[in-house]
Structure 1
Amino acid sequence: MGLEAPLSLIEGALLGGLLAAAACRVAWPGRWRPAGPRACLALAALALAQAFWSGFTWQFVGGYALLSVLAWPWRARRRWSRLAGAIGLAGLMLAALGPWAILPSPRLPAPRGPHPVGSTIYRWVDGGRAELATPDAADRRHVVAQAWYPAAAARGRKVAYMDGLGRLPGSVYGLPRFIFRRFGETDTHAALDAPVSTGQARWPVVIFSPGYGAPRAVYAGLLADLASQGYVVVALDHPYESAIVQLADGRVVGPAPFQARGDTGVPHMERQVLVRAADVRFVLDRLARGDGLGPLSRRLDLTRVAAIGHSFGGATAVLIASRDARIRAAADIDGMLYGDVRAAGLRGPLLLLESGGTQQMPRYVRATRAVMAEVPAGGWRYAIGGSNHLSFTDAERFLSPPTRWVAARVMHGPRGAADTQAVAVDILEAFLRGPLRDEPADVTAVAARSAQAWPSR
């Protein structure tokens, strides 16, 4: 899938050197005494070079402690003290290795489609809607959208992976902000404000809504891949629900207090999906105005629009598609349905794409069957075997390969994000080709090419 190595060469050399030096000191103390000072000097030089090249990397804090102990000229003369020293060094080796369960920055696969990818970001304010998530009655609703699109060339400044880097709140996703310090290094494989491809005068549009609490950033791998197939994919952030959003006035905000307290019961979700649907409707209206769209001005075919989303975003996509005639197709990726979905109002087909057949909760099964049975244009329902709910996101790419392996088995979905997203994009592209391009496409045949994508009943 074109993935980069999880560690840079210098990081791998430093981490491997620290662990090898510690193992040598424990296993061959006699050989270590003459060679140890030179080894520690070499490791210290490597640590300085790494810090100069990449800046402070919190994952190396345990490694620095290990290096300090290795450089200390202690000698254990008694057996018990040698044993204690070996146990202490083993503990420091674990402390040096453990933080690397989380990588300094995610490594994303290159898009597979025929088009290079550009991206531009819009930070808008809906002056007609009050912001209900803040105490200030004068606050208006902010909506942030990032468009990923077919570009003439992928040259220019790369698009940042996530909002607010350098100005993050104390925690994001419940993790301390220092964990994200180097996320600016992530290559999104998209050029900021690149000229749009001249392959078509106007390009079909796909509106994407993320999962509950998830920022648009964690879908960058999927969104760039879909855009490279020939679609303008407009991904929304829903402020005061998303983990992190940078607003039009420059503020960087996280979840509102009621979201932060975990108020995610069904009544809250039923209310919140209406807020999200209004965000999508506002974005469609704003795109239709045509002004202030930068490279996408006069390049959008707004007669060919689809709505897709993951998890709670899938519920958003289906709800808005049932209420807005501008939307010609909808896809729900592994999402429970919420809101009063008027299936008969869906103008085009519906795709339900699930993770590994795990969506078997009675409420989900009842709701999706009822909706699918009433969609005038029909639709498809597939499960991607071996995937889990987070496989559609970039979340696993925050983790080192061994940690991914463990996490996948805990979540009962060993299929990785790269494979899951590739299969999902292939099925989505085949599904969208008819309503957005008027081209024949056999969704069933495309799904059948994946050994682990099957119809889900």
Structure 2
Amino acid sequence: MDFIPPVLFPQYRAPEVTGKYEVRTAVYTYTDPTRVEEFTDTGERRRVNVKFWYPGNAEGKYPLIIFSHGAFGIRESNASTFTELASHGYVVVSLDHPYHSFYTQGVDGKITMINAAYMGEVNDSNKDGVYNVEELYGLTRKWMKLRTGDMNLVIDTILDKAASDQDPVYQRIDTEHIGVIGHSMGGAASVALGRERSDVDAAVNLDAPFFTELVYDRKINDLAAKNEPYRIPLLNIYTDDVWRQLGKNSAYAANNKANPNFKGAYTVHFQGAKHLSLTDLPLFSPILANMLQRGQADINKYYCIETMNRLILEFYDYTLKGTGPFAPQAVY
């Protein structure tokens, strides 16, 4: 069976890195003193593993960007995006959400695999007739609470360490300029954090419904968008998988381009792309990507990821660094 790894994970060309800075990485494990791990019965505190991509041969301070992966993702899911951003002068931290991540490894070597019950919830949520609307709404609220809790832990820990820790990673962070970004369920959590925290300045949503921008209306037994303006710049990047559901699926009611609460948001559609086209998975394991998303995307995978990375960089340059302009096309 020696042929399996090369087939599943063939050699591939890394996406282009265009910045001037050498990119370094670092890993840490943060413990949340306020939360008990809900997936075990040991009473242990929740631990979140993170990885940084940051400018190595650089001086000064750089904006901080926090990434949240998708339902079964890992913190390296968009490593090409993180590398490109860091090469242009950003400190990027991507976190694993333990038991939501396919697997995560702490600095002590402990490996935590995805929780089977959570995986079942997510899979069943995409099937007709398993959950009613109110039950689905409850599940999304539960998922978002865990994920935003993890992201808050990461940001708060970094802010504390940036003020006192001499680690070069923390000393390169400009804590006055913070962006959030996520794919799929991580995108939903990032949009939520952009509303929750006053210190988050810009958000990028990759192919996610705005779960926390919805309310359950018992009178109509359906979901509806909240009526509250979103305060920070937002970039939405959608594939065909999500684009075809906008305006049709109530889970995407708040994503509607006509929603006045998001009238200033930028919205981009990658035609021919599938859900995982907005991650690096089709690059390093095309067979696995095609299996998980039920088919191969029509868009060129390098064009998709490199164009997406460029748009994200330009968006953060415009919103966090004040350089621009930012004027994306509606369709790529």
Interval containing the TM-score (normalised by the shorter chain): 0.7 to 0.9
Determine the C-alpha separation between the residues in 1 that align with 2:293 and 2:141: 32
Report the secondary structure of 1:261's partner residue.
Answer: helix
* RMSD, aligned α-carbons: 2.9
Per-residue deviation at 1:386? Answer: 2.1
Match of 1:374 in 2: 261
Match of 2:114 in 1: 255
Higher relative contact order (CA 8 A, sep 6+): 2
Per-residue deviation at 1:116? Answer: 2.0
Q: Is the 8 A contact 1:124 1:142 kept in 2?
A: yes
Determine the C-alpha separation between the residues in 2 that align with 1:103 and 1:440: 38
Greater strand content:
2
Determine the C-alpha separation between the residues in 2 that align with 1:352 and 1:202: 27
1:382–1:370 Cα change, 3 Å: closer
Q: Is the 8 A contact 2:10 2:285 kept in 1?
A: no
Identical-residue share of aligned pairs (%):
25
Match of 1:270 in 2: 141
Please show how residues 9-408 of structure 1 align to structure 2 within 5 Å: 58-59=2-3, 100-103=6-9, 108-136=14-42, 138-152=43-57, 197-198=58-59, 201-263=60-122, 265=125, 266=136, 267-290=138-161, 291-292=164-165, 294-340=167-213, 344=228, 346-356=230-240, 358-361=242-245, 362-369=249-256, 372-375=259-262, 378-399=264-285
Q: Normalized against structure 1, the TM-score is what? A: 0.61
Q: Normalized against structure 2, the TM-score is what? A: 0.82
Determine the C-alpha separation between the residues in 2 that align with 1:424 and 1:126: 33
Per-residue deviation at 1:246? Answer: 1.1
User: Where does the alignment leave 5 or more consecutive residues of structure 1 unmatched?
Assistant: 1-56, 61-98, 153-196
User: Where does the alignment leave 5 or more consecutive residues of structure 2 unmatched?
Assistant: 126-135, 215-225
Q: Is the 8 A contact 1:323 1:345 kept in 2?
A: no
Determine the C-alpha separation between the residues in 1 that align with 2:23 and 2:307: 19
Q: Is the 8 A contact 1:147 1:233 kept in 2?
A: yes
Count of residue correspondences: 304
Per-residue deviation at 1:256? Answer: 2.1
1:405–1:248 Cα change, 3 Å: closer
Determine the C-alpha separation between the residues in 1 that align with 2:253 and 2:244: 10
Q: Is the 8 A contact 1:227 1:233 kept in 2?
A: yes
Match of 2:221 in 1: none
Report the secondary structure of 1:301's partner residue.
Answer: strand
Greater helix content:
1
After superposition, the C-alpha distances for 1:393-452 in whole angstroms (9 at most, x for unaligned) are 12223446xx599779963622243221111111112211222012232323xx37xxx5
